[in-house]
Amino acid sequence: MLSTPFPFMLLLSIESSCDETAASVVRDGRDILSSIVASQISIHADYGGVVPEIASRKHLEAISLVIEEALRTAGVSLPAIEGIAVTRGPGLAGALLVGISTAKALAYGLNIPVAGVNHIESHILAVKLERDVAFPFIALAVSGGHTHLYEVHGIGRYRTIGQTLDDAAGEAFDKVAKLLGLPYPGGALIDRLAADGDPRAVKLPRPLMHDDTCNFSFSGLKTAVLNYVKKNPSVAEGAALHNICASFQSAVCDVLVSKTRAAVLRSGIRRVVVAGGVACNSGVRREMAAFADKEGAELFIPSPSLCSDNAAMLAVPGDYYLSGRAVAGFDLDALPVWPLDAISSPEGP
């Protein structure tokens, strides 16, 4: 019983950093008892079945229902909760404050500790809810808002080694979908259409692929697709549509893999975690697996439900911080700008 690295704890976690309002109950930083994401469910008929996105006020409308649903699904009563983890940043101040205020009010009322965690940190540690991944590892965090490479030496010990200089990969997927006349957000649709296309049909650039950094750039790739569409208006139909989707996806995957490979070779760290919404993309999963196989690296990608925004992922850093290292006071505030390198850790990176 004493051998566990985490104390036994029933943790409620709350996420409201941008679009999603989410809550989760996790036991011992490991067992997900519930993970509720507002946009993915219709919370009771009395809510009308639709939970609007984006705005802070919408988080405020959804948060109590999402927490109640998380507790109900977990079969846990509120007084049984022993600690709370909440996203402190990065994100929109107003949205973050909805989660933080709720977390502090609950913690005060229940007389339990609360920890503020980083949204990106939670994404790259989410895989530990499913697999035992030893430190250190290279993490590629790739989503609509982020495309970053990190060295992860432990919980709270991160070093940024590369990032996008313009658009995030997930954003490029959604915007290219829009240029092709697909409904927004169309990233997942590109993935499906690409399955029946020829990735070599359209020659597209691989920006920054051969420079000597671990940085990314996807804006020029988006513009290359725009120029191609303007010159070939019929591209939005039939086989041509499948081909442009496959060619674009292949360009993104090439860049992501190439920079991840550079990070592995440079650091000598041979464990790789891919996290964030774009880690659901089948091309990314396939190409990353092929790369890991070839380089003899270990690859870890969480299940899709832990890749997109969720609250369960907060439990990994939350449990660790609540075990005595970093319990927050009731003055806990939002950090809209919060790079991972700025997280303080007793040991340092």
Partner 1 sequence: MTRIIVSKSVQETISAGKRLGALLGAGDFLALTGELGAGKTQFAKGIAEGLGVDPATPITSPTYTLLNIYPGRVPFYHFDLYRLQGSEDLLDLGFEEYFHGDGVCLVEWAERLEETLPEDHLLITMSHDGDDCRTLSFTPSGSRGEELAGLLMSDHK
List of residues contacting partner 1 (CB under 8 A): 18, 54-58, 90-92, 94, 143-145, 163-168, 170-171, 175, 178-179, 215, 219, 222-223, 226-227, 230, 336-337
Cβ 32 vs Cβ 312: under 8 Å: yes
Q: At what angle do helices 238-267 and 282-295 cross, to 10 degrees?
A: 40
Min dist. Cβ of residue 75 to partner 1 (A): 34
Least distance from partner 1 to the Cβ atom of residue 145, Å: 3
Nearer to partner 1, 58 or 285 (CB): 58
Work out the burial of residue 73: count CB atoms within 10 Å of its CB; fewer than 13 is exposed, 13-18 middle, 19 or more buried: middle
Task: Note the residue count of the chain.
Answer: 349
Record the tokens describing residue 315, joined without a space: 């439990």
Largest CA distance in the chain: 66
d(Cα 300, Cα 34) in Å, to the nearest integer? 22
Nearer to partner 1, 102 or 164 (CB): 164
d(CA 180, CA 232): 11
d(CA 97, CA 336): 10
What token pair was written down for 105?
């009010």
Q: Which conformational region is residue 212 in: left (phi greater than 0), alpha (psi within -120 to 50 degrees), or beta?
A: alpha
Q: CB atoms < 10 A from the CB of 189, how many?
A: 17
Based on CB atoms, which residue is closest to partner 1, 171 or 287? Answer: 171
Least Å from the CB of residue 57 to partner 1: 4
Nearer to partner 1, 34 or 87 (CB): 87
**Nearer Cβ to partner 1 (83/145):** 145
Nearer of residues 175 and 259 to partner 1, judged by Cβ = 175
Distance in angstroms (rounded) separating the CA atoms of residues 302 and 316: 13
Report which residue type is found at 306.
L
Distance of closest approach, residue 6 Cβ to partner 1, in angstroms? 31
Closest distance to partner 1 from the beta carbon of 218 (Å):
9
Q: Which is nearer to partner 1, 320 or 338 (CB)?
A: 338
For residue 166, the minimal CB distance to partner 1 (Å) is: 6
Smallest gap from Cβ 173 to partner 1, in A, equals 11
